[in-house]
Amino acid sequence: MASGTADGETIRQTRQAVAALCARFSGEYWRRLDRERAYPAAFVQAMTEGGFLGVLIPEAYGGGGQGLTLAANILEEVHAQGCNAAALHAQMYTMGTLLRHGSRAQKEKWLPKIASGEMRLQAFGVTEPTAGTDTTSIRTFAERRGDSYVVNGQKVWTSRAEHSDLMILLARTTPKEKVEKKGEGLSVFLLDMKKALGKGLIIKPIRTMLNHATTEIFLNDLEIPADSLIGEEGKGFRYILDGMNAERILIAAECIGDAVWFIKTASAYAKERVVFGRPIGVNQGVQFPIARAYAEAEAAKLMVYRAAELFDRGEPCGPEANMAKLLASEASWKAADTCLQTHGGFGFAEEYDVERKFRETRLYQVAPISTNLILSHLGEHVLGMPRSY
């Protein structure tokens, strides 16, 4: 995705800068957003001005020109500070489709605007109600008509569509029954959402247990320019898969950050909370689960940055990226459960932020890919076991 490789000192300084920025956005800021179901506009703007959202964009287009390892450190630190990077990570990995497969004209037009924050690319239109993770079964269709494509279909779980200027959209351009391989006939488009809204594009919010600005998208005879196509027509599934490893690694880094926050928060509470005349942390029933969560998080972190290192070197990293997501999401969930248990009833009180972070980190057992699908992938493609049907 980017050729730059950050050294240890760059990583350390970057994490310090991220931590300092996050200190400006206290728990109350996030609690208020959660209550109001509001988008973290001020936080996103601050991260953009700090250059953190453009870290993977080449310097020639106004970005940082760094690799995935530094991006992962940024997102980990955001979560370790008690903040949430949901409005950040999508732009990082979604932008990679444009960066790797877009034309020179597309890159020159959009990447500088994305790097500066003038435009936001935070929407990823792939999942559909009847397809789910079976991406090759999507029904959204883009029909070529002269210098345009006319798109009809529906997307779901498209987070932050209301707050994004651009969307990476996956659609069929050849019917599934007319292709030899099920992954063929899918194409990727860069959709200018501001121009499309009200002209065939409808966005409807979906209320969920998380404040991720999740929506469903309806595309009704939406006409888009032919030059919206990224790469070759019919090759879009490969382009999307190409970005999945980056997505998994970045999400895994966020999970590690969550685990760090939960463990730090649980440890502090266990030392401060006094019951029967002594801190509850002296009890092994309280202390040992926190210690185990710490060990599991540290082990998962090794896999996350191993995967990021391979990605930055341009080496195959599919198994590592998937294992990083699996291990990190489980470590964060274990740490979350331990933190809540340590706090007891107070863990359910909004002011402690535990319940908010608890809900946030639970998502990663399901998205962007579920734990069972990762295990299936490892069993079939890494261990060579029979394919399940």
Residue 225 domain-assigned (yes or no): yes
Residue 40 one-letter amino acid: P
Q: Which of 364, 368, 304 is nearest to 335 (CA)?
A: 364
Query: Residue 148 belongs to a domain with what CATH number?
Result: 2.40.110.10
Q: What is the pLDDT of residues 150-176, one digit of tens each?
A: 999 999 999 999 999 999 999 999 999
Would you state the structure tokens that stand for residue 291, as one six-digit string? 């210690």
Residue 1 domain-assigned (yes or no): no
The pLDDT of residue 6 is: 84
Task: List CB contacts of 78: < 8 A, sequence separation 6 or more.
Answer: 18, 22, 47, 84, 85, 88, 254, 257
pLDDT at 242 over 80: no
Residue 125 β-bridge partners: 169
289 and 345 inside one domain: yes
pLDDT at 3 over 80: no
Q: Do 119 and 166 touch, CB atoms closer than 8 A?
A: yes
Residues 259-272 have a mean pLDDT of 98
In this structure, what is the dihedral angle of CA atoms 42, 202, 179, 370, given to the nearest 10 degrees? 50
Q: Where are the beta strands (DSSP E) in the chain?
A: 121-125, 141-145, 148-156, 166-172, 186-192, 201-205, 215-225, 229-230, 274-275, 278-279
Residues making up the chain, counted from first to last? 389
Query: Residue 111 belongs to a domain with what CATH number?
Result: 1.10.540.10
The pLDDT of residue 2 is: 42
Residues 36-50 have a mean pLDDT of 96
182 and 224 inside one domain: yes
Residues 68-80 have a mean pLDDT of 98
Residues 31-46 have a mean pLDDT of 96
Residues 252-275 have a mean pLDDT of 98
Domain boundary among 80, 102, 120: 120
Q: What is the pLDDT of residues 292-332, one digit of tens each?
A: 999 999 999 999 999 999 999 999 999 999 999 999 999 99
Residue 23 domain-assigned (yes or no): yes
The pLDDT of residue 92 is: 87
Q: Do 66 and 54 touch, CB atoms closer than 8 A?
A: no
Residues 59-66 have a mean pLDDT of 95
Widest distance between CA atoms in the chain = 79
Would you state the structure tokens that stand for residue 47, as one six-digit string? 């991260």
Residue 94 domain-assigned (yes or no): yes
32 and 73 inside one domain: yes
Task: Tell me the average pLDDT of the chain.
Answer: 94
Parent domain of 227? 123-235
306 and 227 inside one domain: no
343 and 291 inside one domain: yes
pLDDT at 50 over 60: yes
Residues 172-187 have a mean pLDDT of 93
246 and 348 inside one domain: yes
The pLDDT of residue 96 is: 86
The pLDDT of residue 1 is: 43
Residues 188-194 have a mean pLDDT of 96
43 and 138 inside one domain: no
Q: Where does the pLDDT of residue 389 fall: very low under 50, low under 70, confident under 90, or very high at 90 and above? A: low
Task: List CB contacts of 60: < 8 A, sequence separation 6 or more.
Answer: none
141 and 267 inside one domain: no
Residue 258 domain-assigned (yes or no): yes
Number of domains in the chain: 3
Residue 369 domain-assigned (yes or no): yes
115 and 134 inside one domain: no
Residue 388 domain-assigned (yes or no): no
The pLDDT of residue 272 is: 97
Alpha helices by DSSP H, listed for 50-133, are 68-80, 86-101, 104-116
Report field, pTM of the whole predicted structure over 0.75: yes
Residue 258 one-letter amino acid: D
When mean pLDDT is compared across 6-10, 21-25, 73-77, 230-234, the lowest value belongs to 6-10
Q: Do 161 and 187 touch, CB atoms closer than 8 A?
A: no
144 and 276 inside one domain: no
Residue 378 domain-assigned (yes or no): yes
Is the peptide bond preceding residue 368 cis, with omega within 30 degrees of 0?
Answer: yes
273 and 296 inside one domain: yes
Residue 143 β-bridge partners: 150
The pLDDT of residue 182 is: 87
Q: What is the pLDDT of residues 268-295, one digit of tens each?
A: 999 999 999 999 999 999 999 999 999 9
Domain boundary among 203, 235, 267: 235
Domain boundary among 218, 235, 252: 235
197 and 283 inside one domain: no
